[in-house]
Chain A
Amino acid sequence: MAALTMHYTVDGNDFTLAGDCSSKVKKSLTQLGFDPATIRKVAIAMYEGEINMVIHANGGFIDVSIEPDKIVAVLNDHGPGIADINKAMQEGFSTASNKVRELGFGAGMGLPNMKKYSDEMNISTKIGEGTIVTLTFYTNKTNN
């Protein structure tokens, strides 16, 4: 079976739309019959990624590929890049502004949650150029 692919634009200026891509992917996965546990993992990790793209990188693109045995989400931004990935992976470490924190974000849980809820996470980042995060989820499909 050929992979089903979806392409989304994340608007970096609009906090009110953050979560839209994750919601759309969640709906598609539900329609395709993926099991709720897999859908929840994908939704949480993608939402965190989407929020990161809005908070830190002025938006970007997300490409999702859905195959029977796995879902791959590639989050691509042209933000500032991540200076220290090890630090960024520590729970509680955040470079988010106070304004963002007041909204309930910036707790330093984004990347750790993305790693926790995906089966594989790969980060490719370059200062001044941007970041590409690839999330892979292996699936347990309940019906076809």
Chain B
Amino acid sequence: MLLKDIIKLTDSKLLSGDENKEINGCYIGDLLSLAMSKVQKDNIWITIQSNINIVAVASLTEAGCIIICEGFDPDDGVVSRAKDENISILQSQLSAFEISKILVCNGF
């Protein structure tokens, strides 16, 4: 599924990155060590973490995008670092469960 379709389906806001890339699979979690070992290349990573370290985790795991859920705002500097590293970040008001439910119901 393309990132722009995910944005549309989950009513998310694109804060950084390219919306035309292909995204596969998903990991949900807020512990960075677990995310580090579980997020696979091109995955969506859904989290409420909004500090600068999420960019490093997404970059090292080559995540397809981060969705910061539950309406959390990224900390200062997160979006500019994500742009530098070419990491896509979406912001959604929905919960992780609601996001995944919508994606699964739409064939993700």
Instruction: List chain A positions with a Cβ less than 8 A from chain B.
Output: 15-16, 18-20, 22-23, 26, 36, 40, 43-44, 47-48, 51, 103-105, 107, 109-110, 113, 116-117
Contact = CB atoms under 8 A, between A and B. Distances in A.
A47 B49 contact: no
Interface of B: 30-37, 41, 47, 49, 51-54, 56-57, 59-61, 77, 81, 85
Contact of A105 (B32, B47, B59, B61): B32
17 contacts: A15-B53, A16-B52, A16-B53, A19-B56, A26-B60, A47-B36, A48-B33, A51-B32, A104-B30, A104-B32, A104-B35, A104-B47, A104-B49, A105-B53, A107-B31, A109-B37, A113-B36
Contacts of B33: 48, 51, 105, 107, 109-110, 113
A46 to B, nearest CB: 9
Contact of B51 (A26, A36, A43, A103): A103
